[in-house]
Structure 1
Amino acid sequence: MKNKFNYGLIGKKLSHSFSPFIHEEFFKAQGIDGEYELYEFEPNELKNKLENIKNIGVKGINVTIPYKEDVINYIDEISAEVKSIGAVNTIKFEDGKAIGYNTDYFGIKETFTINNVKIKGKKAIVLGTGGASKAVITCLKDMGIENIVLISRNPEKVISNYKVDNYENLHRYKSYELLINTTPVGMFPLIDESPIEEKHIKEREFVFDLIYNPSKTRILQYAMKNGVKCSNGLYMLVLQALKSEEIWNDIMIPEGVVKQIFNTCLKKKNREKNLVLIGMPGSGKSTIGGILSKRLGLKLIDSDEMIEKKVGKSITEIFKDGEEIFRNIEEDVLKDISMEKRCVISTGGGAIKREENIFSMKYNGIVCFIDRDIEKIFYDMQGNNQRPLVKTKEHLLKLYNERIGIYREVCDITIDNNGDIEDTINSIMKVEGTL
């Protein structure tokens, strides 16, 4: 028999859960010999699975979608916050009993705090009416918000006497400063989806999406595009996990350890991101991508090469059928490429012309704008007949003027490529954190 402390997570779909990594980092920091396992099963198995987990000696479990409310029916005791919230995300097995808690509450509250969001007296929209929304509602109320509207596909549902409305009526709440998404819409792998349209984001002061995978959901990209302060659910996930450990082990985790584990988690998430190179034709993306991929030991993906492979024609030949046809193919290819993890991706110069491409690049990518002087680009391109849109220096300058603002707006970092190529590579690696 293993001499370990055993913990875990129950839910319906858990293959992409980040929770095991968080708890393993906690075990390292605290010197605990522990294991954190995933228990994935269907709703009709909840009662039996919970009993089995308790019987095999598991010390505690976390609970996620869709069991946060239903699990209350199968546990022996619930804490004060669960009585108020009506949902459980943490269970402690002690003396033959299953005791339910809700640590989501603490993670939600701290997310507002670290983002310096003033809550008291504001108005809030909460998307969704599931277990997570109940923790959000309780937290907002305790922090001084009374004016809360819940938006649901099932507006007939009543929660804690709060108003529930449907998505078609979101326009009625333009003056509501805070918007919190508690639905799974936009979660990996359905990254193209957003629970609401961009127009409903523009008026807000703060947008909080409880989803953490991807780190930049469509709704968060809408917020960033419109200059709205926003946050994903990673900090909340870390805080609720560590609060669970405090409950299971009867300890208090020092603030320094919390910060250490969160920073480690943040670095791991960043290490999963792609390096996406954007810039003008001839700016050096392909050359830089090739060197970076070898230096970092990462797969190199050239979007133009992928397009040619998919269609069986050269870029020049595809453009003869019309730029619109090329852009449609490019959009599909970039969407597929974006699902990769930790690659170097070199994009075509005009990929940033479509918003869908920008969403694809940014959802799991660090976007690097390779900035090169237009005179140098034209000089380097002399005699190159493989650039279908570049015919003359004047044409190149026209393209540059059309695109430069977009490059600068959508990139995460700008890299100067007017000097030695090694300096360019080192600049990317320093900013990205691998040098």
Structure 2
Amino acid sequence: MDSIVVTGGKPLNGQIPIAGAKNAALTLMPATLLSEEPLTLTNVPRLSDIKTMTALLESLGVEVTSMQGGKVQVLSSHDMTSTTADYEIVRKMRASNLVLGPLLARHHKAVVSLPGGCAIGARPMDIHIDALELMGATIELRDGYLHATASGGLKGARVPLRFASVGATENVLMAATLAKGTTVIENAAREPEIVDLARCLRAMGAQIAGEGTSTIEIQGVDKLGAATHPVVTDRIELGTYMLAPVFCGGEVECLGGRMELVTAFAEKLDLAGVDVAETEAGLKVKLRGDRPRAVDVITEPFPGFPTDLQAQMMAMLCLADGTSVLEEKIFENRFMHAPELIRMGADIEVQGGQATVRGVDRLKGAPVMATDLRASVSLILAGLAAEGETTVNRVYHLDRGYEHVEEKLSAVGAQIARVPGV
């Protein structure tokens, strides 16, 4: 397996282009299953998860044409050959479950393996199942597969989600576009990726109102058509690179960044002594003093502080002046990066869903192991500040969510390289 080697202490200056959002693209791609006509996506990130979703859609008979080095994808579901999402593909990525709603909506049946992905805690499918059953689906779990049918098609319904699940909101939103009648999603997730999905579906002919709020109303239509849609900027990649100059000094402009995507995160950075300024091209970031200040963080659904930036924030707070407390409210097993940061000299104590971080003057380079996608990049960020050399192993996680991380950081002055595995 490949490794990333970082030599710390090099200030960063320049511009970093931010890619399209992984989580948005992985939601938009299955939307093609709702229409016989082509869906063209632009600003698609070039990631291994995108390849996995492509393989899954192709296994269903979707034609996927990649252009401009993968940044443009043309998807066509005019000649579907299967409604079964096989375990061998689904096990690689949680977002594979997003084919369930579209398949039920258009084909009235689906067989979908229970999904896989990062080992960051339980992310059950029961919210998805309960919601789709309210719309008339019958779903049974047999041998690790969800066997779903909707005789006569899905029907509009009031769908109250007991948790503002992003995936369940997306599955129901797509399913409802072709359901008979009106569907109202209550306690809907409000993430920008859901707003982006609604905009895409509306371009395809869907009738949707309320995206970005906790109540989304969808009036079902008979069919959806063709559309071209740009994938929204990746707010998690944006937040990650906004932190980079905080670790080792300098000033970085994140091209394509927008404040409304990272408001809660930027507020915490301000409290920590980090300047974030809007520019015509994006967001410019610089640490105000010699080291950041301690702040407390609680992860919450959007518009709160995102769980996908918790690991990166913890890495920064390892160097902060004072003691910080991070509370993880979304996933119960998402502090696996803490032991690796401790190997680099961090002072962290984890108790259940809470981590206490006492800032230290410096970190030391060390061999560390990535445990999940966001943990991978948190260790790279820590390596930017550490004395000596840090080797981050098992970076296949990294390639699921960050395109060309070595090139982007090298371009602004980091000493970083990928070492191919033997």
- TM-score normalised over the length of structure 2: 0.31
Name the one with the larger strand percent: 2
- TM-score normalised over the length of structure 1: 0.30
Name the one with the larger helix percent: 1
